[in-house]
């Protein structure tokens, strides 16, 4: 029997929006539905502290919000092969992370391009912030099979911005294996190719903190109002001018979310020759987004009543169970323990 596991996660820094869906959740759902893997979806609450340590109320609320968002899009931790893991509640992961810090090269971590980019925005980064790539390696390898064999797989679906972290994690895994024998399984990155979804204000990517997101929890009227305010082709000043559909946020959303593919093609053709106005393409988009969000809203209503705590306890216990042997194997190889 080969081991096939998936681990991926999100930091719990606020409830989720359409950008999270297009960039991550859609892929996670496909993987879950493939029925080929045991899936671990991690709520990275410790790593949320790298940027939001001064907003404890937000962090507390976000754990609940993200869990509900995940449930409402259809991730299904009631299946025995799907686990929602709360990072801070897996003690063996924390220990693994500390052991990893002794293997990781300080200068290598500082060279990490994703970290460098983010460091530029932080005036007083914590030590934990710098350590983020190492800690993320512990997230991944906590569910590694110990002494993996051929055919085993540890799949990590992520966005493009996480690639540097996964490459780092794999260099670390190889280093551990070279030094201590075959302990962990280097991960198999699955990098999403979805273009970043622009915010409703165009330009920037969608982000709740910039106030340009359409959230999974928005009601139909809110979605409509946000869509009607969206940017379109800035050069098109009248509805009978030919317009651009490639970089036009309204059409980017149509292509990403409108299940009526014929309508999308038809609207694009008309738009390109100046035969349909912005208002109409927006009306159709608002309808399409609400069609997409309706089942998510329905599920959310149902799950608002379930006990999220029990759900996260059982997912975190599953992760702890897999992590302990990894941590113990490494601890032993590092000769950490009482004297004989």
Q: Using CB under 6 A, list all residues that contact ligand TRP.
A: 7-11, 42, 44, 47, 136, 139-140, 156, 158, 162
- Min dist CB 136 to ligand TRP, Å, is 5
Residue closer to ligand TRP (CB basis): 89 or 268? 89
Q: Which of 209, 181, 205 minimizes the C-alpha distance to 329?
A: 181
Residue closer to ligand TRP (CB basis): 63 or 140? 140
Residue closer to ligand TRP (CB basis): 187 or 276? 187
- Min dist CB 13 to ligand TRP, Å, is 9
CB 194 within 8 A of CB 20: no
Residue 215, strand partner residues: 17
CB 12 within 8 A of CB 59: yes
CA distance 129 to 141: 19
Give the residue carrying structure tokens 């693994």: 96
- Min dist CB 208 to ligand TRP, Å, is 14
- Min dist CB 332 to ligand TRP, Å, is 25
Residue closer to ligand TRP (CB basis): 139 or 215? 139
- Min dist CB 7 to ligand TRP, Å, is 6
Q: Which of 276, 256, 337, 295 minimizes the C-alpha distance to 72?
A: 295
CA distance 229 to 247: 17
Angle at 93 between CA 69 and CA 66, to 5 degrees: 10
Q: Which of 77, 86, 87, 66 minimizes the C-alpha distance to 136?
A: 87
Residue closer to ligand TRP (CB basis): 112 or 268? 112
- Min dist CB 224 to ligand TRP, Å, is 30
Residue closer to ligand TRP (CB basis): 42 or 68? 42
Helix 308-333 to helix 163-180 angle, to the nearest 10 degrees? Answer: 40
Cα–Cα distance list, 277 to 151, 281, 282, 287 (Å): 54, 7, 9, 16
Q: Which two tokens stand for residue 180?
A: 């201590």
Residue closer to ligand TRP (CB basis): 166 or 223? 166
Residue 40, strand partner residues: 7, 83
- Min dist CB 329 to ligand TRP, Å, is 20
């Amino acid at each position: 029997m080969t081991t096939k596991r998936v681990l991926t996660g999100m930091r719990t820094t606020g409830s989720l929006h359409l950008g999270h869906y297009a960039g991550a959740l859609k892929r996670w759902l496909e993987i879950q539905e493939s029925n080929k893997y045991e899936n671990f979806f991690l709520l990275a609450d410790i790593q949320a502290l790298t940027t939001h340590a001064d907003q404890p109320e937000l962090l507390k609320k976000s754990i609940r919000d993200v869990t509900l968002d995940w449930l409402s899009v259809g991730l299904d931790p009631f299946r025995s092969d799907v686990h929602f893991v709360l990072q801070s509640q897996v003690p063996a992961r924390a220990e693994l992370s500390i052991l990893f810090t002794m293997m990781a090269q300080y200068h290598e971590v500082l060279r990490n391009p994703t970290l460098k980019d983010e460091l530029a925005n932080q005036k007083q980064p914590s030590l934990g912030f710098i350590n983020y790539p190492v800690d993320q390696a512990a997230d991944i390898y906590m569910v590694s099979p110990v002494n993996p064999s051929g055919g085993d797989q540890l799949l990590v679906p992520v966005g493009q911005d996480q690639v540097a972290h996964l490459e780092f994690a794999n260099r670390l895994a190889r280093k551990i294996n070279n030094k201590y024998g075959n302990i962990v399984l280097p991960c198999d990155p699955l990098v999403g190719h979805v273009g970043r979804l622009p915010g409703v204000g165009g330009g920037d990517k969608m982000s709740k903190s910039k106030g340009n997101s359409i959230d999974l929890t928005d009601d139909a009227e809110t979605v409509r109002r946000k869509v009607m305010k969206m940017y379109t082709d800035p050069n098109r000043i009248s509805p009978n001018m030919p317009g651009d559909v490639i970089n036009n946020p309204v059409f980017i959303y149509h292509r990403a979310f409108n299940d009526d593919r014929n309508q999308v093609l038809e609207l694009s053709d008309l738009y390109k020759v100046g035969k349909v106005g912005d208002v109409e393409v927006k009306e159709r988009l608002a309808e399409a987004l609400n069609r997409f969000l309706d089942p998510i809203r329905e599920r959310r209503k149902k799950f608002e009543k379930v006990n999220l705590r029990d759900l996260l306890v059982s997912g975190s216990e599953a992760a702890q169970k897999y992590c302990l042997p990894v941590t113990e194997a490494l601890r032993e190889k590092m000769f950490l323990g009482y004297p004989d």
